[in-house]
Structure 1
Amino acid sequence: MRKTTRYPVEGANSLWQVYKTVSFWKVAKSFIVIQVARYTPFMSVKNWLYRTFLGMKVGEKTSFALMVMPDIMFPEKISVGRNTVIGFNTTILAHEYLIKEYRLGDVIIGDEVMIGANSLIMPGVTIGDGAIVSAGTMVHKDVPPGYFVGGNPMQVIYTKEQQADRWADDPIYAKKE
């Protein structure tokens, strides 16, 4: 189960009441910063924008590809480790607005994680160090370190041990003694 905090609402659906839960000006600032970063070709500039203006935790040498969409309302709930690749057009959400409630949850992405293009990371999930998420995956639960996952719904493709066996003789990914 995802680790989210639930907040009930009365009356209209929670998205209709969005500015009771988050400042309009915060959302406006986040929107501008994210739109600039989405098209910026310089990884260090993107990371600086995310850290400086959105309060995201972004590790060294992490790469956000073109059109990545971090959460616009609660970007400070996103943490990405070092030397990670977030693929083209991936969305990382830290919130869910539903009919009778809204939910917030931290998103923690580890070191040296590879996330394929067009993936969706849901609020409240942790993706462990060295994990691989195939393109087009909806990550709706935690991914253990070193696992290879994919699909919708997300399923384990290879465990860390199976992945190590597959790469044992690979000239690039084999562990060096």
Structure 2
Amino acid sequence: MTDNPDVTADNSRSRHDRIRRHPTPGVRNSLAHWTSAKHPLRVALNYLFVWFARISPSLRLRRWCLRRLGVTVEPGVSWGLEATPDVFWPELITMEKHAIVGYDATLLCHEFLQDEYRTGEIVVGERAMIGAGAIVLPGVEIGADASVAANSLVTRDVEPGTTVAGVPARKMGGGSESQSESQSESQSRIRDRNQTECTADQKRTEWGEAGVAGGDNGNGNGSGDAEENEESSNA
């Protein structure tokens, strides 16, 4: 049992616990109802600021545009060229001190599905780094000093100080899974080496026995030949 209902028994962390679900009526998919989710004029204005934030050569201007969108931008944040914040709900993004979002990365705070749309906050921790082309999904928290490799799809929280990569992104070296895999590989190599040594010893033993047997046969034949030669001489 745990006092915190958001923490499961295996201590896993899920973004789905923090996502808000908004059912939509009728048979049409939720994207068809986007004007009910967000006013079109608000989305149009957001898009204008997103466009400037993507193409501006000035880092200061990019930060200013992000703040106008409602993004929480703490001191020292760096926002790369072509990087895209969520157009519908940019106010759900928090960038902590000295965080970096790389070139063409995307931070999505919403998902339009068939029968509902979902929204969730994204938190990029202090000094965390998001690589070029990476995509972060709603509800994800990226811990302090964590790193997301380029072109990764982040579907779950990233622990502080760790590096994730891939689609979906998974923890790289230093994690328990990586250690277990390394231990298994080491044990496998040891077993293979021991088996090879045992096979070699067995072969050497067989060769040695074969040599001894051959020597015995040679000695026997030699004695017989000597005896035959002696009999022939006596005759």
Question: In which range does the TM-score fall when normalised by the shorter chain?
Answer: 0.7 to 0.9
- Structure 1 residues 27, 126: CA separation in 2 closer, same or farther (over 3 Å shift)? same
Tell me the distance in 1 between the aligned counterparts of 2:19 and 2:132. Answer: 25
Q: CA deviation digits over 1:76-121, x for unaligned, max 9?
A: 0000111111111101000000000000000011010111100000
Match of 1:98 among 84, 107, 113: 113
Pick one of 47, 56, 67 that aligns with 1:31: 47
- Partners of 1:155 and 1:110 lie apart in 2 by 18
* AA aligned opposite 1:9: T
Alignment partner of 2:171: what SS?
Answer: strand
Q: Deviations over 1:25-56 (max 9, x none)?
A: 110000000101111111111111111x2111
Aligned-partner residue type, residue 122 of structure 1: L
Residues 15 and 63 of structure 1: is their aligned pair in 2 closer, same or farther, counting only changes over 3 Å?
same
Give the number of the structure with larger relative contact order, counting CA–CA contacts within 8 Å between residues 6 or more apart. Answer: 1
Which residue of the other structure, out of 36, 42, 46, is the alignment partner of 1:20?
36
After the TM superposition, which residues 50-69 of structure 1 pair with which residues of structure 2 at under 5 Å, given as runs? 50-51=66-67, 53-69=68-84
Q: Distance in 2 between matches of 1:110 and 1:153?
A: 20
8 Å contact from structure 1 (residues 14, 102) kept in 2? yes
Shift of 1:9: 1.0
The whole-number CA distance in structure 2 between the counterparts of 1:120 and 1:107 is 11
Contact kept, 8 Å, 1:30 with 1:73, in 2: the verdict is: yes
Residues 75-154 of structure 1 correspond to what in structure 2 (within 5 A)? Answer: 75-154=90-169
**Paired amino acid for 1:44:** R
Query: How much has 1:159 moved relative to structure 2?
Result: 4.2
Name the one with the larger strand percent. Answer: 1
The answer for the alignment partner of 1:156 in structure 2 is 171
The equivalent of 1:40 in structure 2 is 56
Matched with 2:233 is none
2:137 and 2:160 map into 1 onto residues whose CA distance is 17
Corresponding residue SS for 1:6: strand
Amino acid at match of 1:117: A
- One of 16, 21, 43 as aligned partner of 1:6: 21
**Secondary structure of 1:102's partner?**
strand
Q: Distance in 2 between matches of 1:145 and 1:159?
A: 13
Instruction: Indicate the SS of the match to 1:70.
Output: coil
**What amino acid is the match of 1:16?**
A
* Contact 1:87–1:117 (Cα < 8 Å) also in 2: yes
Cα distance in 1, alignment partners of residues 132 and 65 from structure 2: 21
Q: By how many angstroms is 1:158 displaced?
A: 3.1
Identity of aligned residues (%): 34
| SS of equivalent to 1:15 | helix
* C-alpha distance in structure 1 between counterparts of 2:73 and 2:30, whole Å: 29
1:26 aligned counterpart, secondary structure: helix
SS at match of 1:47: helix
